[in-house]
């Protein structure tokens, strides 16, 4: 007895042939135009009555352009590499969101990869990994690559870097005055009457951390106050690092009435330690952060911080890279000012008498 012949399953009855294998020629035929006209419209080069007919045909046939083939023909992938330091960081995610929104408004797709706060050699390897993916350019958010490394890498790929001050023929950068921000935060505490101000610094050798500490020093110098080096401790821009730094400060037994933390996340870690020890904020210790992340307005009490326009910086970086790529039709929506702002809320007050 022979077994019955197995039949190949048919495509679902409700799925039309046009949905299964529509081609550019099918679109042209339905729209009543040439295939070359369809191609030009898909590439944004034709703006006429023909566009409506082609778009109607694309919608009816559910046509999807072959982006891989298009990339091979044009040499343009419409993809941008984005190197961020830590996907868990609210700063990184907010900046990356700005980059993404700006790129996608012009039809580009971001490809994200993390640098993991690595050494400069690790970051350079990550950049090379992105370059191997046939991207058109790169946006780097933060990092430790030297100016020389950035210039060298930009010779291979157009590049924009957030948080740096370096430029080249194919390299642009975007930075806020971190030193000014550190100064504004510390001066605010001094104006409230604080004289013993601790500083939870960021990662060693990281440009933002260096600038903010310099601003902390500047405010003391301007007020004629000396800085007790025992009140400077190192964090890592994350909550656990801020908690360890606050524990270290308290264990020294050195008196202080206020803390300037290098970022809002470090401040949150420090605040938890104070809460667990029954130390009031701001009744006993005042706290100032940096970044102005959205959650800082919703803590109890709300956080005094130096706000930097993180999302707007991401948008600006994305737009600047598109300019480097000579994209014709840029998003013309105003991005907003790129200014630092001291936002005074509930974590600062005059020192207790």
Residues 58 and 164 in one domain: no
Cis peptide before 282 (omega within 30 of 0): yes
Residues 215 and 299 in one domain: yes
- In whole angstroms, what is the distance from residue 266 CA to residue 203 CA? 11
The answer to whether residue 315 scores a pLDDT higher than 60 is yes
What pLDDT is attached to residue 48? 61
**Poorest-confidence range of 94-98, 117-121, 250-254?**
117-121
Q: Which residue is it, tokens 């601003």?
A: 215
Residues 49 and 135 in one domain: no
Closest alpha carbon to 183 in 214, 204, 208:
214
What pLDDT is attached to residue 66? 59
Mean per-residue pLDDT, 278-286 = 98
The answer to whether residue 158 scores a pLDDT higher than 80 is yes
Mean per-residue pLDDT, 167-176 = 93
Q: Which domain holds residue 135?
A: 74-176+311-324
What pLDDT is attached to residue 76? 64
330, part of any domain: no
For residue 105, give the CATH number of its domain: 3.40.50.2300
Count of Cβ atoms closer than 10 Å to residue 80 Cβ? 28
Residues 171 and 315 in one domain: yes
- At residue 311 the predicted structure's pLDDT band, cuts being 50, 70 and 90, is very high
Q: Considering the chain, what percentage of its residues have pLDDT values greater than 90?
A: 59
The answer to whether residue 219 scores a pLDDT higher than 90 is yes
Render pLDDT for 64-74 as a digit per residue (tens, 0 to 9): 765 545 544 44
What pLDDT is attached to residue 205? 83
pTM: 0.77
Q: How many CA atoms lie within 13 A of 35 on its CB side?
A: 6
Residues 172 and 182 in one domain: no
The answer to whether residue 13 scores a pLDDT higher than 70 is no
333, part of any domain: no
268, part of any domain: yes
156, part of any domain: yes
Count of Cβ atoms closer than 10 Å to residue 207 Cβ? 17
Render pLDDT for 140-149 as a digit per residue (tens, 0 to 9): 998 888 899 9
Residues 183 and 291 in one domain: yes
For residue 35, give the CATH number of its domain: 1.10.260.40
- In whole angstroms, what is the distance from residue 337 CA to residue 80 CA? 25
Render pLDDT for 98-156 as a digit per residue (tens, 0 to 9): 999 999 888 888 999 887 655 556 888 888 888 887 899 999 998 888 899 999 999 99
Render pLDDT for 18-53 as a digit per residue (tens, 0 to 9): 444 678 788 888 988 887 777 667 655 555 668 788
> Where does residue 59 rank: exposed (0-12), middle (13-18), buried (19+ CB within 10 A)?
exposed
- At residue 10 the predicted structure's pLDDT band, cuts being 50, 70 and 90, is very low
Residues 59 and 139 in one domain: no
Boundary (domain end) residue, out of 25, 41, 65: 65
- At residue 9 the predicted structure's pLDDT band, cuts being 50, 70 and 90, is very low
- In whole angstroms, what is the distance from residue 43 CA to residue 250 CA? 62
- At residue 89 the predicted structure's pLDDT band, cuts being 50, 70 and 90, is confident
The answer to whether residue 328 scores a pLDDT higher than 90 is no
Residues 192 and 301 in one domain: yes
Residues 189 and 275 in one domain: yes
What pLDDT is attached to residue 16? 44
What is the per-residue burial (b if ≥16 Cβ within 10 Å, else e) of 100-134? bbbbebbebebebbbbebeeeeebbebbeebeeee
Which has more confidence, 15 or 91? 91
Domain count for the chain, please give it: 3
The answer to whether residue 176 scores a pLDDT higher than 70 is yes
């Amino acid at each position: 007895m022979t077994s019955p012949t197995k039949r190949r399953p048919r495509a679902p009855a409700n799925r039309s042939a046009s949905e299964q294998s529509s081609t550019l020629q099918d679109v042209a035929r339905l729209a009543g135009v040439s295939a070359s006209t369809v191609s030009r419209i898909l590439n944004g080069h034709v703006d006429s009555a023909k566009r409506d007919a082609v778009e109607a045909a694309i919608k009816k046939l559910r046509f999807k352009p072959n982006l891989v083939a298009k990339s091979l023909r044009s040499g343009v992938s419409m993809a941008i590499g984005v190197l961020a330091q830590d996907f868990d960081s609210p700063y990184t995610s907010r900046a990356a969101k700005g980059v993404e929104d700006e790129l996608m408004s012009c039809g580009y797709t971001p490809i994200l990869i993390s640098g993991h706060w690595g050494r400069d050699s690790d970051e350079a390897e990550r950049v090379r990994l992105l370059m191997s993916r046939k991207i058109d350019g790169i946006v780097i958010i933060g990092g430790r690559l030297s100016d020389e490394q950035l210039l060298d890498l930009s010779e291979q790929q157009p590049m924009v870097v957030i948080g740096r001050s370096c430029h080249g023929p194919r390299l642009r950068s975007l930075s806020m005055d971190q030193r000014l921000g550190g100064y504004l935060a510390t001066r605010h505490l001094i104006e409230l009457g604080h004289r013993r101000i601790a500083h939870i610094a960021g990662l060693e050798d990281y440009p933002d951390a260096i600038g903010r500490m310099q601003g902390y020093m500047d405010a003391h110098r301007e007020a004629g106050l000396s800085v007790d080096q025992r009140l400077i401790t190192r964090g890592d821009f994350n909550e656990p690092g801020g908690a360890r730094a606050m524990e270290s400060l308290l264990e020294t037994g050195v008196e202080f009435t206020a803390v300037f933390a290098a970022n809002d996340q470090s401040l949150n870690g420090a605040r938890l330690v104070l809460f667990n020890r029954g130390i009031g904020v701001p009744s006993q210790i005042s706290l100032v952060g940096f970044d102005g992340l959205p959650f800082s307005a919703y803590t109890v009490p709300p956080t005094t911080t130096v706000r930097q326009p993180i999302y707007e910086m991401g948008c600006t970086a994305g737009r600047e890279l598109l300019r480097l790529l000579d994209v014709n039709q840029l998003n013309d929506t105003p991005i907003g000012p790129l200014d630092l702002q001291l936002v005074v809320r509930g974590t600062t007050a005059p020192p207790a008498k």
